[in-house]
Structure 1
């Protein structure tokens, strides 16, 4: 009888997983078989725990750059992150390197290595201002000029094509397209980027996002999962003000950085929980994965930030991943390195059963 009950419970659990996955599918109706599998496995993974990610983790860190196999996360924990962030900025300029000085050939190789290890690749694009050629942070009004029939649309379309070519070049050892998460025009409810809130209307932003997704599909890009990512927001109405629609978004996310620690510790935890509840409720209703797409405390001045603040903020919310920003300089880093004051606490954080790094995520077989 005990054996029968055990197998009955296992069967019910299996049916629950199958039912859950059946309700979720990528927005791209022509998504590659590998991308469909990847997406469904991301859904399954959220029931187990969340993946930890780090921007540019393999490219450079504190005291090193372009050292084969190096990683600040690995230097502290003995293993790589589960999620790796990369940026496409300057690909539109035909530059050999992105805006952070990492060559696109190396990024391609890193993406292939991460995929081979069972990890996840996510990409942002801090593209130049197409109207005046200045940086993404130049807020000269441009969005209306690059929408279809705009006077800068042809130029912008040529930039989109460069991204499409890059995405299609991402192949595994068997020649199959590598699934990636693409997070375009992020933090748009702020106004520090040219696509931000004060520089275009909600309808213009929606069209901008929709046009990108449509263009990628028209160019045969079918290995992309699309993430919508705001900065901090107040409520669902605020979050959805510029939402391009459920037919254009696979992952609901937000970026949230802590500042002014320790005075802001309790508020940061509270804000994370509130925002995760908001996107979690919407995601559950409309079958969307959720994530904290960028976060961190610059220089990690709180020695127990990982367990006492970040983990408490995530609490029991079921999210796909949390990604901290890059380790760019000794005064600008978001993951610990050996001897950094939060390193021991970070190791404790990564040993939590809910937290997945490289070794554990490999066993989850996201691509099988």
Structure 2
């Protein structure tokens, strides 16, 4: 098995074991891709489900329909929806922590993310840095944005510490799709983005001692590859590179630009798809993604299908149970649903 070490030299034993497991998957003949499903934000999803309902729909329904659970479950600390609903802008896991811990206890992997609200304006992630603002203000004392951002980081660290104390390794993918310009953190200078990432890394690992995290860098596959390279914070604070990949239609292919760039041995990182889906209102064949990985992107070790999105009377069916051939996907010999993943972890 590939002897790849975490970027954090003080990483916990469980984090190191998880990284080594993922590192070895491309060398296997079968059972080599961890199948993931995004479950929920803390509240106010882009669908009508509260966290308990989302757990039933995106986790339990997968089992009821296929006899298998997702190998990876995704959760988001945000309490804000794309339309701005939700009074509290700060990060929280209060409405889904029990589900995340249960999934871990059953042998699954956890991927946490955070659609952070705008620390200048308190708008949602889908906003801009206001005129006169800049990402450097988040790491330079003396502004309200600095105080708010670092207060949020403190709240996040308090919650992540709960998992660290239970020795639960977390795949942590903050500030995703940074090479696009739809989230506020993607609208700033690329060098400043790198410093904001590094500041978070130092605070979590060095100041707060959170050594259970594997750090995942998630640019967007349809946005600029050049910008993603410029924003890459460096191998000393990244473990996994996992672009978000959304196909235009069920018949379209994926751009290989980010895969080709970050699969270069000079990066030396595990590869995955952070989020994946097809931007259509029609049901699709769930097997599309593993077939593309098998034929075009064989170094991808994990992917996470997104939850369904309800907007303006339309529904985009991204989730496993909302599309076709889920059982066949779960039984594909390259797949690692929760049961197969638990077997691999226990070898």
Q: Same fold by TM (over 0.5)?
A: yes
1:175-324 correspondence to structure 2 within 5 Å: 176-196=166-186, 199-217=187-205, 218-232=207-221, 237-259=226-248, 261-262=249-250, 265-266=251-252, 268-269=253-254, 271=255, 273-281=256-264, 284-298=265-279, 301=282, 303=284, 305-307=285-287, 309-316=288-295, 317-324=298-305
Give 1:45's aligned residue. 25
Give 1:159's aligned residue. 152
1:1-368 correspondence to structure 2 within 5 Å: 17=1, 20-21=2-3, 24-48=4-28, 49-56=32-39, 66=52, 71-90=60-79, 104-141=93-130, 142=133, 143-149=135-141, 151=143, 152-170=145-163, 176-196=166-186, 199-217=187-205, 218-232=207-221, 237-259=226-248, 261-262=249-250, 265-266=251-252, 268-269=253-254, 271=255, 273-281=256-264, 284-298=265-279, 301=282, 303=284, 305-307=285-287, 309-316=288-295, 317-327=298-308, 329=310, 331-337=315-321, 342-343=323-324, 345-365=325-345
CA contact (8 A) 2:37 2:70 kept: yes
Helix, strand or coil for the counterpart of 1:55? strand
Question: Partners of 2:71 and 2:41 in 1: how far apart?
Answer: 12
Deviation at 1:194, TM superposition (A): 0.5
TM-score (norm 1): 0.78
Aligned length: 322
Helix, strand or coil for the counterpart of 2:216? strand
Helix, strand or coil for the counterpart of 1:313? helix
Compared with structure 1, are the counterparts of its residues 158 and 181 closer, same or farther at alpha carbon in structure 2 (3 Å cutoff)? same
Larger CA Rg, structure 1 vs 2: 1
Deviation at 1:306, TM superposition (A): 2.7
Instruction: Return 5+ residue gaps in structure 1 as ranges.
Output: 1-16, 92-96
- Larger mean Cα displacement after TM superposition, 348-357 or 309-318: 309-318
- Larger mean Cα displacement after TM superposition, 312-321 or 185-194: 312-321
Give 2:83's aligned residue. none
Question: Partners of 2:230 and 2:23 in 1: how far apart?
Answer: 25
Helix, strand or coil for the counterpart of 1:31? coil
1:87-124 per-residue CA deviation (whole Å, 9 max, x = no partner) reads: 01149xxxxx9999x97234221121111111111111
CA contact (8 A) 2:10 2:211 kept: yes
Compared with structure 1, are the counterparts of its residues 85 and 234 closer, same or farther at alpha carbon in structure 2 (3 Å cutoff)? closer
Report the aligned-residue RMSD: 3.0
Deviation at 1:145, TM superposition (A): 2.2
Question: Partners of 1:291 and 1:232 in 2: how far apart?
Answer: 12
Instruction: Return 5+ residue gaps in structure 2 as ranges.
Output: 81-85
Question: Partners of 2:268 and 2:141 in 1: how far apart?
Answer: 34
